[in-house]
């Protein structure tokens, strides 16, 4: 078995080929990052004798698809977990490729033996593996992320307008609830203030962009079963359901609900020393902050929309025990468990589901 580490850049890449004894047997320096450049691997090493590792970057998805289409087993390592590469004192493409090959040996051994600790718990892998999407799924995923980003930007801009109006002692009629509503914008347009007019232009542009992206997404996700199932949860609209569905991808990649919760970064942090183990003080927060924030937003919307569900009742109990912020994290973990069950068993949301 050969273990190959690839240091990928936009134009050129460097590969280090290592055997199971951690000895370099081949090296390819500054080959083009293209199908033609990858022939240094595909023409010399068969897919069944190779295990390839690259670091996540802007080109990693393209490189991973190129090798997988040729039958190779390739892993994309999360950049934050490969600290020996990012924080090394001496850093060159050749050294980085060699270290990636060493990581490939470690990950292959972990994947082959699946070791457990003294308490019978599975040992975490040496690094997290990023997910690789095909072209169509990558387009859907990018559009859902951009749609959520525009929504967050618009929400922040609404607060900016409110702060400005408060500072200028400008108020709207009592029955005008939202600043970005059409009649609210029409009312504010009549105020002779250039700053408000500019900010309203930004809000209207964001609404137009979001509407365009959402119409495109509805066509792409017309037959997506995961999005339809998640939309049955009270408080989750199409935009949020699509974001969760694209973030999760194929739910079979997660064997248990705990694996999915770990992907979202909502599992307890564990500290163990001298055979003493403590957990539950905080969450690991290893995932994207935006993804975790969307879970908290979904919890708030669900609690407001459906007070009779088990999730809302659990949130209420936790809020009295551990406070509002920690209760949202605990209920978010429950919500992820519910989503995993819904997607795994292909069942819509039930108010008092006990599975």
| Residue-by-residue DSSP string for 106-152 | HHHHHHHH--B-TTSPBPPPSSPEEP---HHHHHHHHHHHHHHHHHH
Strand 50-55 with 74-77, pairing: parallel
Question: Bigger pLDDT: 247 or 288?
Answer: 247
> Please, which residues have CB within 8 angstroms of residue 252's CB and are 6 or more apart in sequence?
344
Strand 129-130 with 268-273, pairing: unpaired
Closest CA to 233 of 171, 293, 302: 302
Closest CA to 42 of 79, 22, 17: 17
Share the mean pLDDT of the chain: 87
Q: What is the pLDDT of residues 37-54, one digit of tens each?
A: 999 999 999 999 999 999
pLDDT given at position 170: 87
CA separation for the pair 334, 311 (Å, rounded)? 7
Q: What is the pLDDT of residues 115-140, one digit of tens each?
A: 887 777 778 788 888 877 777 788 89
Q: What is the pLDDT of residues 235-274, one digit of tens each?
A: 999 999 999 999 898 898 888 888 888 888 887 655 555 5
Q: Which of 31-35, 226-230, 286-290, 319-323 has the lowest mean pLDDT?
A: 286-290
The two tokens of residue 14 are 């460097």
2-130: CATH number = 3.30.420
pLDDT given at position 268: 67
Highest-pLDDT range among 74-78, 136-140, 155-159, 322-326: 74-78
pLDDT given at position 173: 86
Q: What is the pLDDT of residues 160-188, one digit of tens each?
A: 998 999 999 888 888 887 888 889 899 99
The two tokens of residue 235 are 């408080």
SS3 state at 287: coil
CA separation for the pair 201, 199 (Å, rounded)? 5
What are the residue boundaries of the structural domains of the chain, listed by start? 2-130, 135-220, 240-345
Q: Which of 136-150, 263-277, 286-300 has the lowest mean pLDDT?
A: 263-277
Angle between helices 135-167 and 289-305 (to 10 degrees): 70
pLDDT given at position 172: 86
The two tokens of residue 193 are 């203030």
pLDDT given at position 325: 86
Residue 3 confidence class, pLDDT cut points 50, 70, 90 = very high
CA separation for the pair 129, 56 (Å, rounded)? 9
What share of the chain in percent tops pLDDT 90?
Answer: 48
pLDDT given at position 16: 96
The pTM for the full model equals 0.79
pLDDT given at position 84: 64
């Amino acid at each position: 078995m050969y273990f190959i580490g690839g240091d990928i850049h936009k134009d050129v890449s460097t590969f280090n080929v290592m055997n199971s004894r951690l000895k370099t047997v081949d090296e390819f320096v500054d080959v083009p990052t293209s199908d033609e450049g990858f022939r240094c691997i595909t023409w010399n090493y068969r897919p069944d004798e190779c295990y390839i590792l690259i670091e996540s970057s802007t080109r990693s998805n393209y490189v991973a698809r190129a090798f997988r289409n040729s039958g190779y087993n390739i892993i994309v390592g999360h950049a934050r977990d490969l600290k020996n590469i990012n924080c090394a004192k001496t850093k060159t493409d050749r050294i980085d490729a060699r270290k990636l090959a060493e990581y490939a040996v470690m990950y292959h051994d972990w994947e082959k033996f699946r070791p457990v600790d003294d308490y019978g718990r599975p040992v975490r892998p040496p690094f997290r593996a990023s997910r690789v999407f095909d072209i169509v799924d990558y387009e859907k995923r990018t559009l859902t992320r951009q749609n959520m980003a525009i929504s967050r930007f618009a929400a922040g801009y609404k607060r900016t307008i409110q702060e400005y109006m408060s500072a200028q002692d400008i108020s709207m009629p009592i029955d005008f609830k939202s600043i970005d509503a059409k009649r609210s914008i029409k009312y504010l347009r009549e105020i002779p203030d250039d700053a408000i007019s500019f900010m309203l232009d930004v809000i209207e542009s964001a609404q137009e962009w979001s509407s365009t992206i959402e119409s495109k997404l509805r066509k792409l996700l017309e037959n997506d079963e995961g999005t339809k199932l998640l939309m049955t949860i009270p408080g989750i609209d199409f935009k949020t359901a699509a974001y969760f569905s694209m973030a999760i991808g194929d739910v079979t990649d997660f064997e248990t609900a705990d694996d999915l919760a770990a992907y979202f970064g909502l599992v307890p942090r564990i500290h163990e020393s001298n055979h003493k183990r403590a957990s539950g003080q905080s969450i690991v927060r290893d995932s994207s902050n935006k993804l975790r924030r969307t879970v908290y937003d979904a919890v708030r919307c669900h609690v407001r929309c459906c007070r009779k569900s088990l999730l809302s009742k659990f949130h209420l109990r936790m809020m009295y025990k551990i406070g509002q912020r920690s209760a949202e994290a605990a209920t978010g973990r429950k919500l992820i468990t519910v989503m995993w069950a819904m997607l795994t068993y292909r069942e819509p949301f039930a108010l008092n589901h006990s599975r």
